Structure 1
Amino acid sequence: MANADYQGGTEPRREPRAAGRRIGAAARRRRLAEWLATPAGDRLLASERPALQETVRRFHGDSLLWIGATDDLVDTTAQCMVRARICAAHTTLDGSSGRERARPGMADIDLVVADTAELPFAGGSIDGIVLHHALDVVADRRGTLREAARVLRSGGRLVVVGFNPLSLWLFIKPLRAFRDLRPLSVPRLSEWLTVLGMTREARTVYLNYRSALPMALHSDRWQTASAWVNRLQLPLGGAYILAATKQGHGYVLERGNQRQHSREIAAAVLGNATRQADCL
C-alpha cells in the first residue's frame, strides 16, 4: 500500500533489487529501444502518438521536461504551449557526459544528461513532465517519481506512459524485450502519486488491445473488434497514459546540500533553453 511504500509519509525508500534480476536499467532501455524499432513496437508508438499529443497539447508555462526510455515520441510535445522543452537522457548520443544538443529534427529541444532519481533542477522549476516508459526501465521507480514531484511546480502536470502489468497483452507476449521490464500498475501508481501530493486526473487512457484478439491484425474482423474494444476502454490495454496535477504540498524530501547545486544547474539549462526557444 502507499503508506507502506514510503517511510513515514516523507521520502520514498530506494527500491530493493529483485532477487534473480538479470539485467540493469541500461540493458532494459536497450532491449526496449530495439523492440520499439520492430513493426510491433512501431504499432504501439503509433497508437500512443495521438493520445499523448492531445494530452501534452494543453501544457503551458516556461518549461517541459521529457524523461523517456527512448526519445521516440518527444516530438509530440511540439504543439504544447511552453517556451522551453528539455529531454533528460542517461547518456548523450556520443556517449559523453554533460549537456548536449538533441539529435537532428529536435534542434529546439535541450538534451540534459541526468540521473532520473537526482534531477539537476531546482524544486518547483518545471511546469510539465512526461515520463514515457521511463518507470518501466529505471532502477528506482519511487526515486524517479519523487524527483518528478519535487521539480514540478504547484499546479504543474505530470503525464506517465507505461506498460500495463494487468493486461492480457503482456501475458500473451512473453518477449525477451519485456522479460525484465518493471511495469507499474495504474492502481499502484495512483497510490504513489497521492502520497507525493499529486491528484490523478479523471480519465486514464488504455491502448493496444490487439494481442488479446485471436484474428489477423488487418482483417475486417480485427478492425471492427479493435474499434469496439478501444471504445470500451477496459483496463486491460497493453499500455496506458495517466495524467496528474501537483497540489500545493506533498511528501517530498529535498536534501539540503543539493538544493543550491540543483538551482545553479537548472538556471543554466533553463536559461539556455529559453534563449533557444526565443530564436526559433
Structure 2
Amino acid sequence: MGLMACQTRRITVHGHFIIMSLPRLFKPFQQIHGSFVHQLLNKWFKSELGKEILQQEKALLERLLPSMFGYNLVQTGFGEPHWLAESSTIHNKIYLCEQPQYSGYYRCVCSHLDELALATESVDVAILHHSLDFASAPHRVLREMSRVVIPGGKIVIVGFNPWSLWGVFRFVQMHSIRMPWSGNFISAYRLSDWLKLLDFHVEGYESTAYGLPTANDRTRKLFNWISYLGQRVWRQRGGVYVLVATKQVSTLTPIKPRFSSVTDSLVHIPIAGIAKPSIRNHWNKTNKRET
C-alpha cells in the first residue's frame, strides 16, 4: 500500500491477535510544521479570502490596542509579516519571526517562538497573530510568551475558532495540507485554561468572519443570511477570534519573623564606660561605721 500506509503485523498471544503499528515515515502535517509552513501561509494570506480576514482582524485590533499602554510591544507570526499594531500608541514596536525579514516600518527580530530572544518581564503588550495555530508546541510558545510579559502586561491572541463554520470545514479537511485547515485551531476555552495556569486573567473575547470560508461571490450571496444571523445570534462563533488576557500581579504580604526574647539574659553594661567600685566606709573596732 506504499509508504503512506501504516505497516502492521499480527502477534499471537494466548490465542489472541494483537495488531502492532510501526512508525510512519511521513508524519501528519500538524506534526511537521517545517519551513514550508511559512510559504503556504504567505500564499493563503495573499488570496482574496486571506486578505479579507486580515482586514477584519485589523479592524478588531484597531479598537483594542489604543487602550493598551506601555514601553514595548511585540507581535509574532508565521511567514511574511502582517503588521497589525499600527493603531497602538506604544513607541517601541518589534516583530518576532522565525525567518529573517526586513521592513522599513518596524524592527524585525529573528527568534524561535518557543525560545524567545527577549529578557524576562520586558514586554508590555504581546500580539500572537495565529502563532499558536501553526506552532508544533503551542503550549510552550504561550509559556515562553508569559515569561517575557511584565506583571500587569497583556497578551492578545488572534486565532481560528474550531467552534464555528470554519471549524466544520477544518474537520472535513483536517488531513489536507491546505491552509488554513492544517492548523491547530485551538479553542478560546482551552486557551483560557492554559492562561489561568500561567497566572493570567482573561479580560474578554471577540470574534469575526461569520460567513462561509469562501471568496466565491455567488456562494456568498446565496448564504449571506448565515453571516447576518451569526453577527446577531452567535456573536462568539465567528471563524476568527481575538482574546485578551492580563498577567496578574502577585501581591505577597511580608511576614515578620518572630524571635524569642533574649533581653533578660543580657548583662547591662553602662554606655559611658565601666562603673568604678563604690567607696566603702571603714569600720572601727567597736563595729561601728565611721561618720
1:161 aligns with 2:158: yes
Structure 2 counterpart of 1:21: 28
Q: Contact 1:172 / 1:211 at 8 angstroms: preserved in 2?
A: no
| Alpha-carbon distance in structure 2 between the residues aligned to 1:112 and 1:63 | 13
Q: Contact 1:215 / 1:221 at 8 angstroms: preserved in 2?
A: no
Q: Could you tell me how far 1:28 is from its partner in structure 2?
A: 2.6
> Structure 2: which amino acid aligns with 1:187?
Y
Q: Contact 2:130 / 2:157 at 8 angstroms: preserved in 1?
A: yes
| Alpha-carbon distance in structure 2 between the residues aligned to 1:35 and 1:207 | 18
1:127 aligns with 2:128: no
> Structure 2: which amino acid aligns with 1:210?
G
Aligned alpha-carbon RMSD (Å): 2.6
Q: Contact 2:167 / 2:185 at 8 angstroms: preserved in 1?
A: no
Q: Could you tell me how far 1:156 is from its partner in structure 2?
A: 0.5
- Aligned CA distance change for structure 1 residues 212 and 32 (closer, same or farther; 3 Å): closer
| Alpha-carbon distance in structure 2 between the residues aligned to 1:166 and 1:87 | 29
* Partner of residue 43 from structure 2, selected from 30, 34, 55: 34
- Aligned CA distance change for structure 1 residues 205 and 68 (closer, same or farther; 3 Å): same
| Alpha-carbon distance in structure 2 between the residues aligned to 1:35 and 1:83 | 30
Q: Which has the larger radius of gyration?
A: 2
1:199 aligns with 2:208: no
| Alpha-carbon distance in structure 1 between the residues aligned to 2:87 and 2:181 | 35
* Partner of residue 94 from structure 2, selected from 86, 90, 97: 86
| Alpha-carbon distance in structure 1 between the residues aligned to 2:87 and 2:212 | 31
Q: Contact 1:28 / 1:181 at 8 angstroms: preserved in 2?
A: no
* Partner of residue 85 from structure 2, selected from 72, 77, 95: 77
Using the size of structure 1 for normalisation, the TM-score is 0.70
- Aligned CA distance change for structure 1 residues 78 and 247 (closer, same or farther; 3 Å): same
Counterpart secondary structure, 2:142: helix
Q: Could you tell me how far 1:234 is from its partner in structure 2?
A: 3.7
Structure 1 counterpart of 2:144: 147
Q: Contact 2:38 / 2:80 at 8 angstroms: preserved in 1?
A: no
Q: Could you tell me how far 1:61 is from its partner in structure 2?
A: 1.1
Structure 2 counterpart of 1:246: 247
Structure richer in helix, relative to its length = 1
Q: Could you tell me how far 1:158 is from its partner in structure 2?
A: 0.6
Counterpart secondary structure, 1:43: helix
Q: Contact 2:207 / 2:236 at 8 angstroms: preserved in 1?
A: yes
Question: Which is bigger in relative contact order (C-alpha 8 A, separation at least 6)?
Answer: 1
| Alpha-carbon distance in structure 2 between the residues aligned to 1:70 and 1:92 | 10
Identity of aligned residues (%): 27
Query: Comparing 132-141 with 65-74, which one deviates more in the overlay?
Result: 65-74
Gap regions ≥5 residues in structure 1 = 1-18, 94-101, 251-280
Structure 2 counterpart of 1:226: 227
- Aligned CA distance change for structure 1 residues 156 and 71 (closer, same or farther; 3 Å): farther
* Partner of residue 70 from structure 2, selected from 45, 50, 61: 61
Counterpart secondary structure, 2:91: strand
Number of corresponding residues? 218
Using the size of structure 2 for normalisation, the TM-score is 0.68
Counterpart secondary structure, 1:91: coil
Counterpart secondary structure, 1:61: coil
Q: Could you tell me how far 1:157 is from its partner in structure 2?
A: 0.8
Q: Contact 1:160 / 1:241 at 8 angstroms: preserved in 2?
A: yes
CA deviation digits over 1:66-99, x for unaligned, max 9? Answer: 011245541x312212120000010113xxxxxx
